[in-house]
Amino acid sequence: MGIAFYIISALTVCGGLAAVLLKNTVHCALALTVAFAGLALLFLQLDAQFAGFAQILVYIGAVAILVVFAILLTRGSDTPKDGVFSKTWLAGLAIAAAVFSVLGWAVLQAAPWLPHETVAPNVTVNQIGDALMGRYVLPLEIVAVLLTAALVGAVIVAMHEKEGAK
Amino acid sequence: MIATPLAGYLLVAALVFAIGLAGALTRRNAILVLIGIELMLNAANLNLIAFWRYGPHPEAMTGMMFAIFSIAVAAAEAAVGLGLVISIYRHAKTTDLDQINRMKG
């Protein structure tokens, strides 16, 4: 494993930590963008070019912008007086630490049996398109319907209610 | 030292997942909870891609397809979640989850 993996991993983890820990919500959204970019770079390191660029387009281009819009629309950038963490933060932190220790223990236990470095798979966008139109055409259509329904639903949920319409 | 590259990617994914879980469980702001959920989804995607890359049949593209569909579903989830947060904010005038404790409007 090269030095690039360690640098990108450190970037991703620091971005994630900042997204969760910072006080100002807008700063959290910007740190989240760094974490998404780090994950996209990890995808590119794993020779998954299409997934990496889809990650950049969808997450950095759409989801991060959506999060910033939601923060600004809800005045979420005002820091509350009684702290940004919930009253039960200790229990949440303990659960997260327990989950990480179980996952890490499982990975380290299984590490000797995990497959070693293999030849990089050569998957072109052409092949991905063929697969999406052939073997995966039904899931593709279902995802298209799901996205349409979800976006129409989101607009209806967030649309301003008329006074007296209740 | 980590034995194989796959173990390294899996450890990074586990760390990002734990960070996202901690954020979703400890933050008061509803939008920050959604950010934590997004981080967890991304960690799962990283696992899928890593197993695809080091699996026995990467030319079948199963793991990568799973990750691509997962990205699409996560985008839908983010749109609906943020729409719900905006709707709740309009109703309750806050996004603080400790104060939103009634189901009756």
Per residue in B29-59, pLDDT (tens digit) is 889 999 999 999 999 999 999 999 888 888 8
Which of A25-29, A97-101, B3-7, B87-91 is modeled with the greatest confidence?
Answer: A97-101
Is A15 a domain residue? Answer: yes
**B34/A55 touch (CB, cutoff 8 Å), yes or no:** no
- Which pLDDT belongs to residue A141? 95
Same domain, A1 and A75: yes
A166 exposure class (CB count in 10 Å sphere: 0-12, 13-18, 19+):
exposed
- Which chain B residues are Cβ-neighbours of A139 within 8 angstroms? 65, 69
- Which pLDDT belongs to residue B35? 93
Same domain, A18 and A69: yes
CB nearest to B80's CB, from A5, A12, A154: A154
Higher pLDDT, B58 or A154: A154
Task: Answer yes or no: are the C-beta atoms of A60 and B75 closer than 8 Å.
Answer: no
- What mean pLDDT is reported for chain A? 87
Model confidence band, residue A34 (pLDDT cutoffs 50, 70, 90)? very high
CB nearest to B53's CB, from A35, A46, A160: A46
Please identify every stretch of chain B with a pLDDT value under 50, giving residue numbers as ranges. 1
CB nearest to B31's CB, from A39, A67, A111: A67
CB nearest to A111's CB, from B3, B79, B82: B3
Is A99 a domain residue? Answer: no
Q: Among the three residues A25, A45, A79, which one is the final residue of a domain in this structure?
A: A79
Chain A nearest-CA residue for B3: A111
Is A157 a domain residue? Answer: yes
**A111/B95 touch (CB, cutoff 8 Å), yes or no:** no
Q: CATH number, domain at A46?
A: 1.20.120.1200
Residue A72 neighbours by CB under 8 Å, 6+ apart = A26
Same domain, A74 and A126: no
- Which chain B residues are Cβ-neighbours of A91 within 8 angstroms? 25
- Which pLDDT belongs to residue A118? 73
Is A160 a domain residue? Answer: yes
Is A42 a domain residue? Answer: yes
Same domain, A3 and A64: yes
Range of the domain at A22: 1-79
**Whether B54 contacts chain A with CB within 8 A:** yes
- Which of B86, B89, B93, B94 to mutate to test binding with chain A, by most A CBs within 10 Å of its CB? B86
Q: How many domains does chain A have?
A: 2
The CA distance from A120 to A137, in Å, is: 26
**A116/B21 touch (CB, cutoff 8 Å), yes or no:** no
Is A104 a domain residue? Answer: no
Give chain B's domains with CATH numbers.
6-92 (1.10.287.3510)
The distance of B99 to chain A (nearest Cα, Å) reads: 10
Q: What is the 3-state secondary structure (H, E, C) of A84-120?
A: CECCCHHHHHHHHHHHHHHHHHHHHHHHHHCCCCCCC
Q: Does pLDDT of A166 surpass 60?
A: no
Is A100 a domain residue? Answer: no
Bridge partners (DSSP) of residue B96 are B29
- Which pLDDT belongs to residue A89? 85
Region A100-127: mean pLDDT is 85
The two three-digit tokens of residue B46, written as one number: 């990283």
